[in-house]
Amino acid sequence: MDPELAALLPYLPPPSVGDPITARQGLRDIFVGTPAGRAPSWTARVGIEASSLTATDGYEVPIRIYRPLAGDGPRGAMVHFHGGAFVAGDLDLSAGLCGRMADAADLVVVDVDYRLAPEQPFPIGFEDCYTALLWTAANSDSLGIDLNRLAVGGESAGGALAAAVAIAARDRNGPAIAYQQLLYAVLDDSLTTASVREMTDTPLWNGANCGPMWDHYLGPADQRGAVSPYAAPARAIATARGLADLPPAYVLACEHDPLRDEDIAYATALLAAGVPVELHLVPGTFHGFDGFPTGISKRTTTGYLDSLRRALR
């Protein structure tokens, strides 16, 4: 483990999604908010607008729009989905990252507060996210967006949703996506990788929680039937079209993360399908490590923000 990250371990509670209500509060306790007097440096350069979009069933999905204040558009854009094992997370959780993306990559960022399982299982949250992509494209003029520079991205479960939205946009002839940013993404419900089996005591996320997470999202394993690639994007690999014709991808994997092997496998499958991929396996790190102010976190964040800027410049 990276020494700076290892020093945090005594202060991190063991991960658990058995009770979604407790998981939601636990995630907020760890990540939401900044220390008093330490406002993020980007707040003076990025405007934030609260809004909503109408889902297919009439539900109003809350969103936040982050826009650089200086310069003129049109700009590239990121439709972003927060993490939280499909059961937790909100717009506050991802505020810091979305603000940094808008600032460092000079993007409009549309952050989506999709509905959560188990109260709203698949496909409800996924369809909220896909609708957000359609909404962003339809409102490109008022948002100041160049539709040739449209990306999707997310962390953990948000990475699953980003990958799924990219697949759905291809299948449904939706808006063209120029880039997908998948950070330690949940991608495979089969739970057969070595990292899922072996990493039972890793911080912030461990293999023991992967099964309950998928149960909340998809229902019990013995009652699911066929799992859609829009739920578990790794399922697309075995379909007739596979991963062909998907947008270029940035895939980040963490050494001490049960999701490590499925992230690497997905990146490899994308490459085999002819999709350009930038794959980073960061040694000494655990799931969600970039949310902490350590040296390896700052270097990694700088790297993926720079890749995003270059991809959508």
- Which one from 156, 195, 228, 297 is the annotated catalytic residue? 156
Which of the residues 80, 82, 256, 287 is marked catalytic?
287
Classify burial at 174, counting beta carbons within 10 Å of its beta carbon; exposed 0-12, middle 13-18, buried 19 or more.
middle
The set of residues, in sequence order, having a beta carbon less than 8 Å from that of 182 and lying 6+ positions away, is 153, 154, 159, 162, 163, 249, 250, 251, 252, 263, 266
Question: Of 28, 82, 73, nearest to 47 (Cα)?
Answer: 73
Catalytic-residue membership of 146: no
Q: What span, in angstroms and rounded, lies between the C-alpha atoms of 302 and 282? A: 13
Write down the residue that tokens 């160049």 correspond to: 146
CA distances from 297 to 45, 60, 124, 197, 286 (A): 22, 35, 32, 26, 10
For residues 20 and 112, give the distance between their C-alpha atoms in angstroms, rounded to a whole number.
19
Active site residue 195: no
CA dihedral 31, 34, 36, 37 (to 10 degrees): 160
Residue of 74, 235, 216, 213 lying closest to 149 (CA atoms)? 74
Nearest-angstrom CA–CA distance, 234 and 144: 34
Q: In Å, how far from its chain's centre is CA 44? A: 25
Is residue 156 flagged as an active site residue?
A: yes
- Active-site pick, 106, 113, 188, 257: 257
Before 74, cis peptide (omega within 30)?
yes
Residue 222 in contact with residue 156, Cβ under 8 Å? no
As annotated, the active-site residues are: 156, 257, 287
